[in-house]
């Protein structure tokens, strides 16, 4: 009857679950969007989300995870700020039988430490960015400066690797400077200022590769202040596809970005619901798409669309 139907519907959802989320912080526009999408997804599904902001510090994440274990949450989401150093605390979650889902960044060590990971293929992202530049440079000499993400984080390691793989077969494209900008606008601008000074005021730089759009947006400002035209004098390619990079594209100041969805929580909660319902074990990795955007893709239209999606 109806009552039974209601019970069935209830058992097939995550309603009533308590989930702890150890978020890295709010270093980028993408990160802020991921946080709001995760909260929306939890609310929509009737999940009680315990949110902890680690302010970029792994020790804060470890403390938060221990707190979630002590509270006896049903599952833990964690976006690991760096790749190493998770064995002990995730081992504790495992001993407590609490499934852990990694969001957007990977970790070193045994895959037994987590149930699944929802993330992009970060090597591929770097490759897509690099292949765009290989095409754009069309055989001409091109010195690239690189703004890396947070040191020791999986996206910084993998996006560097993928880009290097894409340009490896060319002799015209070279990375001449590479430094971390910690995934933030402010650091991206500051480090770019240093690159410009060191490279003849910028005239020895053909392109900027930034591991995220926020650093690119900061660097675009530095390029303008140095009296050069971003997008023309210095090509700009980055990753995330946040609204502001589409504005920059519409203004001719950015050339390409690789999209990263901020909705990592949707697939994560789907996997958790299925697991709680009948023990379905998800694949070890749920991989999100990596799509290239250029100014040919109606940047202002994309900007407007993106604005409603947690940004
Ligand atoms: O690209 C960047 C953020 O971990 C893949 O972290 C994520 C990255 C994202 O700060 O903007």
Q: ipTM exceeding 0.95?
A: yes
pLDDT digit string (tens) for 248-264? 999 999 999 999 999 99
* Ligand 1 pocket residues where CB is under 6 Å: 27-28, 30-31, 104-105, 155, 183, 212, 214, 239-240, 260
Query: How far does the centroid of ligand 1 lie from the alpha carbon of residue 255, in Å?
Result: 19
Mean pLDDT for the stretch of residues 300-307 = 95
Ligand 1 atom at shortest distance from the alpha carbon of 239: 1
What is the predicted pLDDT for the residue at 11? 44
Query: How far does the centroid of ligand 1 lie from the alpha carbon of residue 155, in Å?
Result: 7
Query: How far does the centroid of ligand 1 lie from the alpha carbon of residue 9, in Å?
Result: 35
Partners of 256 in beta bridges: 237
Q: How far apart are CA 299 and CA 247, in angstroms?
A: 7
Query: Which of 212, 237, 245, 264 is the best mutation target for the ligand 1 pocket, counting ligand atoms within 8 Å of the beta carbon and taking the most?
Result: 212
pLDDT digit string (tens) for 212-228? 999 999 999 999 999 99
Ligand 1 atom at shortest distance from the alpha carbon of 214: 11
Query: How far does the centroid of ligand 1 lie from the alpha carbon of residue 105, in Å?
Result: 8
165 burial type by CB count under 10 A (0-12 exposed, 13-18 middle, 19+ buried): middle
Nearest alpha-carbon partner for 212 in 182, 253, 176, 183: 183
Query: Cα separations (Å) of 304 from 99, 111, 231, 243?
Result: 37, 39, 21, 8
Query: How far does the centroid of ligand 1 lie from the alpha carbon of residue 164, in Å?
Result: 19
Helix axes 154-167, 122-137, angle to 10 degrees: 30
Query: How far does the centroid of ligand 1 lie from the alpha carbon of residue 200, in Å?
Result: 31
Cβ proximity of 238 and 266 under 8 Å = no
Mean pLDDT for the stretch of residues 162-181 = 98
Ramachandran bin of 286, using left for φ above 0, alpha for ψ from -120 to 50, beta for the remaining angles? beta
Query: Cα separations (Å) of 156 from 26, 228, 259, 310?
Result: 17, 27, 16, 24
Query: How far does the centroid of ligand 1 lie from the alpha carbon of residue 43, in Å?
Result: 23
- Minimum CA distance residue for ligand 1 atom 7: 104
Query: Which of 125, 260, 261, 306 is the best mutation target for the ligand 1 pocket, counting ligand atoms within 8 Å of the beta carbon and taking the most?
Result: 260
Mean pLDDT for the stretch of residues 255-274 = 98
Query: Cα separations (Å) of 172 from 54, 166, 196, 200?
Result: 42, 12, 20, 19
Query: How far does the centroid of ligand 1 lie from the alpha carbon of residue 219, in Å?
Result: 17
> Does the pLDDT of residue 163 top 90, yes or no?
yes
Q: What is the CA radius of gyration of the chain?
A: 21
- Minimum CA distance residue for ligand 1 atom 8: 155
Query: How far does the centroid of ligand 1 lie from the alpha carbon of residue 24, in Å?
Result: 10
Ligand 1 atom at shortest distance from the alpha carbon of 260: 1
Nearest alpha-carbon partner for 64 in 76, 48, 82: 76
Ligand 1 atom at shortest distance from the alpha carbon of 183: 10
What is the predicted pLDDT for the residue at 138? 95
> Does the pLDDT of residue 93 top 90, yes or no?
yes
Q: How far apart are CA 257 and CA 249, in angstroms?
A: 9
SS3 content of the chain, % helix, strand, coil (to 5): 45, 20, 35
Ligand 1 atom at shortest distance from the alpha carbon of 154: 4
Query: Cα separations (Å) of 305 from 41, 91, 256, 299, 302?
Result: 19, 41, 18, 10, 5
- Minimum CA distance residue for ligand 1 atom 5: 104
Residues 6+ apart with CB under 8 A from 216: 147, 188, 208, 210, 236, 237, 238, 245, 248, 254, 257
Q: Are strands 256-259 and 292-293 parallel, antiparallel or unpaired?
A: antiparallel
Q: Count CB neighbours of 139 within 10 A.
A: 10
What is the predicted pLDDT for the residue at 6? 43
pLDDT digit string (tens) for 31-75? 999 999 999 999 999 999 999 999 999 999 999 999 999 999 999
> Does the pLDDT of residue 86 top 70, yes or no?
yes
The H-or-E segment that residue 130 falls in is helix 122-137
- Minimum CA distance residue for ligand 1 atom 6: 31
């Amino acid at each position: 009857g109806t009552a039974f139907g209601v019970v069935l519907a209830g058992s097939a959802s995550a309603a009533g679950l308590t989930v702890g989320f150890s978020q890295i912080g709010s270093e980028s526009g993408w990160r802020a969007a991921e946080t709001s999408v995760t909260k929306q997804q939890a609310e929509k599904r009737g999940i009680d989300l315990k949110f902890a902001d680690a302010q970029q510090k792994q020790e804060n994440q470890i403390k938060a995870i221990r707190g979630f274990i002590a509270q006896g949450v049903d599952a833990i989401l964690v976006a690991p700020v760096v790749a190493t150093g998770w064995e002990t605390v995730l081992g504790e979650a495992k001993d407590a039988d609490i499934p852990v889902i990694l969001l957007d960044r990977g970790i070193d060590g045994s895959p037994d430490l987590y149930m699944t990971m929802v993330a992009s293929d970060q090597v591929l992202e770097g490759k897509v960015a690099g292949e765009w530049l290989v095409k754009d440079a069309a055989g001409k000499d091109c010195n690239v400066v690189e703004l890396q993400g947070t040191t020791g984080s999986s996206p910084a390691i993998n996006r560097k690797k993928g880009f290097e793989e894409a340009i490896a077969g060319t002799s015209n494209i070279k990375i001449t400077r590479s430094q971390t900008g910690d995934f933030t606008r402010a650091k991206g601008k500051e480090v770019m200022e240093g690159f410009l000074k060191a490279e003849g005021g910028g005239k020895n730089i053909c392109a900027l590769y930034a591991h995220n759009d926020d650093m690119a947006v900061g660097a675009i400002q530095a390029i303008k202040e140095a009296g050069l035209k971003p997008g023309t004098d210095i090509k700009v390619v980055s990753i995330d596809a946040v609204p502001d990079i589409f504005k920059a594209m519409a203004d001719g100041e950015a050339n390409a970005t690789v999209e990263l969805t901020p909705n990592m929580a949707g697939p994560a909660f789907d996997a958790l619901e299925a697991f709680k319902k009948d023990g379905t074990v998800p694949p070890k990795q749920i991989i999100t798409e990596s799509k290239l955007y250029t100014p040919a893709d109606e940047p202002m239209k994309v900007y407007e669309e993106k604005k409603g999606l947690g940004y």
